[in-house]
Amino acid sequence: MTDTVKINRGLKGIHFERCGVSDIDGARGELSYRGYSIHDLATQSTFEEVAYLLIFGELPTAAQLADFDARLRAARVLPQPIYDIIAACKDGHPMDVLRTAVSALAALEPQAQQTGEEAFIENGIRLTAQVPMIVAAHDNIRNDRAPVAPDPDLSHAANWLWMLKGEKPDAETARLADVDFILHAEHGSNASSFAARVTISTETNLHGGIVTAISTLAGPAHGGAAEDVMKMVHEIGKPENAAAYVKAKRANREAVMGFGHRVYRKEDPRARHLREGVRRLGEKMGAPEWYEILQAVVEAMKPYSRHGLNVNVDFYSGVIYQLHGIPMDLYVPIFAIGRMPGWVIQCIEQQRSNILIRPLTLYDGPEPRAYVPIGDR
């Protein structure tokens, strides 16, 4: 038996379900949400429209978008105990604080216990509005500032920057954040969405799935990579050091952060928009060196890229955040803010045609043996 069972470590290349939300063509380096190219969405759509598209399956009409947007804006409310919980763990990593706060919301808001499609949509919209509030409130509280009240006149992205910094962003800055959220909104059966589906498959509530997803996104092999890319860029310091840095990493068989992907064998299509964002923003702010360091790393990685090792979505995003003065440990929470609609729809899809997700591990431990009482060991 042991010899004949095929083990798929990491479930590489395994389709565990059908899903009509996003399509990733790893060989071609293409991504679409509900049939719409990520390039069209990133250049023409807004986060609110994309969130609607992901959750309801179609691009909204103007009236549907206005209604959805109003629901999102009305949901910008956190119960007071959440601020107390954030204050109590303010010195923790923002992902730990976010996870704890979302978990607390499940206990504080009675409607969070409801399951079923309507409840998941309602709770998903509320959480999508609350997650940026939690991240911004934490950053304010840990810096001895009062949380900034949401502004009902601002879009999701602009309101996030307003709550974080206490200043209204200009249109270009708000649009860059909007595009960043669109690019991060959904990505099929990535580790955090898969983990959320496993949780939902036990018939629990949406908040449980989102808590799982936040935990899973945090690691450096997934969303945590953006923070590590920025640490790498600081360590490299100037473009001429990039080749030696990459050589040393490869000699030690260590990963260069922001490179590699389980599915893409060509460049991650999302990276194009973020690269352009870094280049433009660097020029505008008189700090072109960050873009130059990143491009020097890309150049240095070329000899290793022949098996499809290319930049992923996490490679360029950190520098954009840094140029906006956002602390490094907020990079993963920003990913989580963008990913909310993707997590919500993955949980809805799992619930819609549920089956308990419970794969097997092949036992390769000791043969059956006699129990030895503790006094005789």
Ligand X SMILES: CC(=O)SCCNC(=O)CCNC(=O)[C@H](O)C(C)(C)COP(=O)(O)OP(=O)(O)OC[C@H]1O[C@@H](n2cnc3c(N)ncnc32)[C@H](O)[C@@H]1OP(=O)(O)O
Binding site for ligand X (CB under 6 A): 10, 221-223, 225, 255-262, 309, 312-314
Place of tokens 């919980």: 85
Please give the Cα distance from 202 to 100 (Å, whole number): 21
DSSP for 49-101, written as a single string: HHHHHHHHSSPPPHHHHHHHHHHHHHT----HHHHHHHHHTTTS-HHHHHHHH
Residue 38 makes CB contacts below 8 A (sequence gap 6+) with 30, 31, 32, 182, 183, 269, 270
Decide: residue 19, CB within 10 A, 0-12 exposed, 13-18 middle, 19+ buried: middle
Residue of minimal Cβ distance to ligand OAA: 190
With CB under 5 to 8 Å by kind, the binding choice for 256 among ligand OAA, ligand X, none is: ligand X
Q: Is 273 in the site for ligand OAA (CB under 6 A)?
A: no
With CB under 5 to 8 Å by kind, the binding choice for 326 among ligand X, ligand OAA, none is: none
Please give the Cα distance from 135 to 101 (Å, whole number): 10
In the complex, least distance from residue 41 CB atom to ligand OAA, rounded to whole angstroms: 14
Our CB check for ligand OAA shows the closer of 155 and 310 to be 310
In the complex, least distance from residue 51 CB atom to ligand X, rounded to whole angstroms: 18
Catalytic residue IDs:
261, 314
87 and 156 Cβ atoms separated by less than 8 Å: no
Q: Which of 175, 262, 265, 280 binds ligand OAA (CB under 6 A)?
A: 262
Angle (CA) 173 296 229, round 5°: 55
25: which strand partners?
30
In the complex, least distance from residue 267 CB atom to ligand X, rounded to whole angstroms: 12
Our CB check for ligand OAA shows the closer of 73 and 275 to be 275
With CB under 5 to 8 Å by kind, the binding choice for 146 among ligand X, ligand OAA, none is: none
Q: Which of 236, 313, 323, 340 binds ligand OAA (CB under 6 A)?
A: 313
Question: Residue 215: which of 106, 317, 343 has the closest Cα?
Answer: 343
Our CB check for ligand X shows the closer of 85 and 345 to be 345
In the complex, least distance from residue 253 CB atom to ligand X, rounded to whole angstroms: 6
Our CB check for ligand OAA shows the closer of 8 and 143 to be 8
Site track 221-260 with ligand OAA (rule: CB under 6 A), x = hit: ----------------------------------------
DSSP for 242-281, written as a single string: HHHHHHHHHHTTPPPTTB--SS-SS--TTHHHHHHHHHHH
Q: Which of 76, 142, 156, 187 binds ligand OAA (CB under 6 A)?
A: 187
Our CB check for ligand OAA shows the closer of 164 and 313 to be 313
Please give the Cα distance from 271 to 304 (Å, whole number): 18
Our CB check for ligand X shows the closer of 223 and 342 to be 223
In the complex, least distance from residue 298 CB atom to ligand OAA, rounded to whole angstroms: 18
Q: Is 190 in the site for ligand OAA (CB under 6 A)?
A: yes
46, 182, 367 from 52: Cα distances, Å = 10, 11, 54
In the complex, least distance from residue 372 CB atom to ligand X, rounded to whole angstroms: 40
Please give the Cα distance from 139 to 144 (Å, whole number): 9
Please give the Cα distance from 137 to 211 (Å, whole number): 18
Which positions lie near ligand OAA, rule CB under 6 A? 187, 190, 261-263, 312-313
